[in-house]
Each structure stands twice: as structure tokens, then as C-alpha cells.
Copies of this chain bind each other. A is one copy, B any other.
Amino acid sequence: MNRDPAQSLATALGASGARITRQRRVVLDVLDHAPAHLNAREVLRRAREADPGIDRATVYRTLLLLKRAGLIDELDLLHMEGEQHYYERRGESDHVHICCVACGRVEELDTHLVADLIVTIRQTTGFEADSVRIEVKARCPDCISPPA
């Protein structure tokens, strides 16, 4: 569960033996500097701002590469808006994604409970957890009692 988020994705991917092409550098840059939770379509859109010729397939292939290398995580945020997936840089530890079903807002929460869960899993099932994806369907404070 140890990663180094200070390192750029390009550096990390290069270290894994993959070639750093112009197109990949653009995609990695998008992911490095983006707010969390971009879907593939949005990654493509942003990548094309820097390199208009870049193709859908290249984006998908790069995302797959990053997933396989463990450098990004794939989420689906409970399919609140269609079936697309969302991607985010993998950090030092997993966090919780809390999605408001009313307004669509997504919050992240870091809590020791995630680490506790990994320990509990090992102790009670013998499974060694690699990563934990927690997505919560919820209602945010504003949607529970709307502000006047």
C-alpha cells in the first residue's frame, strides 16, 4: 500500500519500462493536474486541448496501462451518471468516496477505518488486500435540509 504521489506519473510509468510518447505525456499530465474523478471522455477532451490529434483509443490504452501499473484507480461512483468510469491518481492510502444521490456532489474522506478494514480482512479471511474501493450512497447536509 505504499506509493509515492510526489513523483509524476510520467516518471513512474517510465520506470515501469513503458515508452513515454508525446501522447502519453499529455494524458499523464492531465491526470497529474486534474481534480479527482475524471472519466475517460473528460480525459480525452482535456488531452485534446494540448494535442488535438490524440485519439480515443490512445487514451483508453494509456488508462489501461496506468491501471495495470497500479498508478491510477478506477471508480464508478455508483453509476450516478451513466456507466462511465472515473480515474484518479493513486495516493498513499485508499479513501472513501461519498456521493450525494440528490445533487451529485462527491466528497472524499480519509479515515483509519480503511486501514482497520485491511487488517480485519487479513485476520478473519486470510486474504491480503491490495486496494479497497469504498463508495457510499448518501445525502449531503444541504440536501437533507436545504438552505433557505
Contacts and interface: CB of A to CB of B under 8 A. Distances in A.
Interface of A: 74, 76, 78-79, 83, 85, 96, 98, 100-101, 107, 109, 111, 113, 116-118, 120-121, 124-141, 144
Contact of A128 (B74, B125, B144): B144
B134 A138 contact: no
Question: Which 4 pairs show the lowest CB-CB distances between chains A and B?
Answer: A126-B141, A127-B138, A129-B138, A130-B137
Contacts of A124: 109, 111
A127 B133 contact: no
B121 A132 contact: no
* Copies of this chain in its oligomeric complex: 2
B120 A113 contact: yes
Contact of A127 (B100, B126, B127): B100
Contacts of A132: 134-137
